[in-house]
Amino acid sequence: MADELVLLDTCVSMFGMRVRIALAEKGIKYEYKEQDLTNKSELLLKMNSINKKIPVLIHNGKPICESLIIVQYIDEVWNDRSPFLPSDPYQRAQARFWADFFDQKAVYAVGKKLVTTKGEEQEAAKKEFLEIYKTMERELGEKPYFGGEKFGYVDIALITFYSWFYVYETLEKFSMEAECPKIVAWAKRCMQKESVAKTLPDQKKVYKRVLELYGLK
Amino acid sequence: MEEKVKLLGCWTSGYSYRVIWALKLKGVEYDYIEEDLRNKSDMLLQFNPVHKKIPVLVHGGKPIAESLVILEYIEETWPESPLLPKDSYERALARFWIKFGDDKGRTLSVLFFQAPEEKPDENAIKEVVEFLKILEEKALGDKKYFGGNNIGLVDIAYGWLCHWLRALEDMRGVKVLEPSTLPRLHAWVENFEQIPVIQENLPDYTKWLAHLKSRRN
């Protein structure tokens, strides 16, 4: 019986992009259903009645919610190709730790503060933002990917937020390449992968949309 | 030769107990080191430089931090007496409920850290009741434990509810877990606390409550 996969998502969601990259990495076919979060569909409300959020992956009628939980699920079910998590339990724990660290730091919320506030609040947000990425940069070290030689779980968790770098740099006049050169090099390396290049939006398009979204000049 | 296992924990922390319960349920021998969180040891700072928090599991000299990451590591390293389902979908559900609890758990702390003379925050109480209702109806259902007939990681993750809900009543006069309104969840607390490993590894309630009160002042 063929697998039936449906992804409830919004094209701009960095969390949804994680799932799309994961599915692409494994070469899995699925039906994409764009959601309107201002007018949530019955399907979304039924499939994620608890949080009512996207992304939701529906596999043969059964919903899986929360982007990183979905990515782990995809890795476990399609375990015959392109593993995201290492096989060694200690390395797996490290991968889970770093993805959790990144999510705990709520980069999206910090980034929003960075571009929508002024003065001390903005300075604090910028400091926090850079600290998060500098910590990740130290963890990356000299490795090509967070996963080591291969693109993996932590790479998937982080790369989708790269599409906003241009926004932060342009609005706040700093250079991520100057502040976190290894992160930028890592991101460009990830962008060489088809799954990432096809999923991440054009940075200038994101910039235009963010200006509208936050009513900025 | 089995490698040595060490746990850095704190008797007042629910996160610490999660790890203790998992290790004990699996019959894993370990050395326990009580940390004074007002005076963190060099060992803790060395093993968890990122968060500087307990619990930290050290296996063969290698540290793992963050209770949920540790639990998954324990499950993978000592697969006997499994605490997660074998089925990938069921595992995804378990992980979802665990995350749900940790995300919502912060609401409860709002109620605790209000000043004693302040009337308990009505909105926070409503949120807590709703949270417990969802747990009872969607996560627990008619099962004895969240894990089914035997406890699993979800039960372990929610173990903190037992003492905290009692403390909510004693400290703030707020009673949310009544057998009349939440019979199944109420029964779960009783069943959970009666499991020998849990019973033998819970902090003394009176001592713990006193500590909680002093922390708040």
For residue A128, CA distances in Å to A110, A122, A125, A132, A134 come to: 7, 10, 5, 6, 10
Q: Which residues contact B103 (CB under 8 A, 6 or more apart)?
A: none
State how far residue B75 is from chain A, nearest Cα, in angstroms.
9
A96 in B contact zone (CB under 8 Å) = yes
Q: For B62-110, how does the pLDDT look when each residue is reduced to its tens digit (9 = 90+)?
A: 999 999 999 999 999 999 999 999 999 999 999 999 999 998 887 677 7
Residue A62 sits at the chain B interface (C-beta within 8 Å): yes
Q: Give the gap in angstroms from C-alpha B73 to the nearest C-alpha of chain A.
A: 6
The confidence score (pLDDT) of residue A160 equals: 97
What ipTM does the predicted assembly reach? 0.94
CB proximity under 8 Å: B 36-65 to A: 50-51, 59, 62, 64-65
Inter-chain contact B65–A62, Cβ cutoff 8 Å? Answer: no
Cβ contact A47:A63 at 8 Å: yes
Task: Please judge whether B65 and A97 are an interchain contact, meaning their C-beta atoms are less than 8 angstroms apart.
Answer: yes
The CA distance from B65 to B54, in Å, is 7
Check residue B31 and give its pLDDT: 97
The verdict on a CB contact (< 8 Å) between B92 and A69 is yes
Q: For testing the chain A interface, which of B89, B98, B135 should be mutated: the one with the most A CBs within 10 Å?
A: B89
Q: Considering CB atoms only, which of A64, A69, A89 is closest to B76?
A: A89
DSSP E strand boundaries for A37-196: 56-59, 62-65
Contacts of B99 (CB under 8 A, 6+ apart): A66, A69
Identify the sign of the CA torsion A89, A92, A97, A100. negative
3-state SS string for A56-89: EEEECCEEEECHHHHHHHHHHHCCCCCCCCCCCH
Q: Is the CB of residue B78 less than 8 Å away from at least one CB of chain A?
A: no
Chain B residue closest in CA terms to A61: B89
Which DSSP category does A161 fall into? G
Cβ contact, residue pair B62, A90, below 8 Å: yes
- Name the minimum distance, in Å, from the CA of B136 to any CA of chain A: 13
**Hey, how many other C-beta atoms are within 10 angstroms of the C-beta on B121?**
16
Candidates B15, B96, B131, partner chain A, best to mutate (most A CBs within 10 A): B96
Cβ distance A100 to B66 less than 8 Å, yes or no, reads yes
pLDDT higher than 60, residue B1: no
Q: How much is the pLDDT for B123?
A: 84
Inform me whether the C-beta atom of residue A73 falls under 8 Å from chain B C-beta atoms.
yes
Bridge partners of A165, per DSSP, are none
Pairing of strands A56-59, A5-9: antiparallel
Model confidence over A169-209: pLDDT tens digits?
Answer: 998 889 999 999 999 999 999 999 999 999 999 999 999 99
Percent of chain B exceeding pLDDT 90 equals 75
HEC-encoded secondary structure of chain B:
CCCCEEEEECCCCHHHHHHHHHHHHCCCCCEEEECCCCCCCHHHHHHCCCCCCCCEEEECCEEEECHHHHHHHHHHHCCCCCCCCCCHHHHHHHHHHHHHHHHHHHHHHHHHCCCCCCCCCHHHHHHHHHHHHHHHHHHHCCCCECCECCCCHHHHHHCHHHHHHHHHHHHHCCCCCCCCCCHHHHHHHHHHHHCHHHHCCCCCHHHHHHHHHHHHC
Whether residue B113 is predicted with pLDDT greater than 80 in this model: the reply is no
pLDDT score of B119? 81
Answer whether A96 sits within 8 Å of B69, measured CB to CB: yes
Q: Enumerate the residues of chain B whose CB falls inside 8 A of the CB of residue A93.
A: 64, 69-70, 72-73
Locate A106 and state its tokens: 């709520």
Residue-level pLDDT at B104: 85
Tell if the CB–CB gap between A93 and B64 is shorter than 8 Å.
yes
DSSP A9: E
Using a CB–CB cutoff of 8 Å, tell me whether A131 touches chain B.
Answer: no
Is A134 within 8 Å of chain B by CB?
Answer: no
Q: Model confidence over A166-179: pLDDT tens digits?
A: 999 998 889 999 99
A45-49, A106-110, B39-43: which has the minimum mean pLDDT? Answer: A106-110
Q: Tell me how close the Cα of B206 comes to any Cα of chain A, in angstroms.
A: 32
State the pLDDT at residue A48. Answer: 96
Condensed to tens digits (0 to 9), the pLDDT of residues B120-175 reads 788 888 888 999 999 999 999 999 999 999 999 999 999 999 998 898 888 888 88
Structural Rg of chain A based on CA atoms: 18
Q: Chain B contacts of A101, Cβ < 8 Å?
A: 50-51
Q: What is the count of residue pairs from A and B with beta carbons less than 8 Å apart?
A: 59
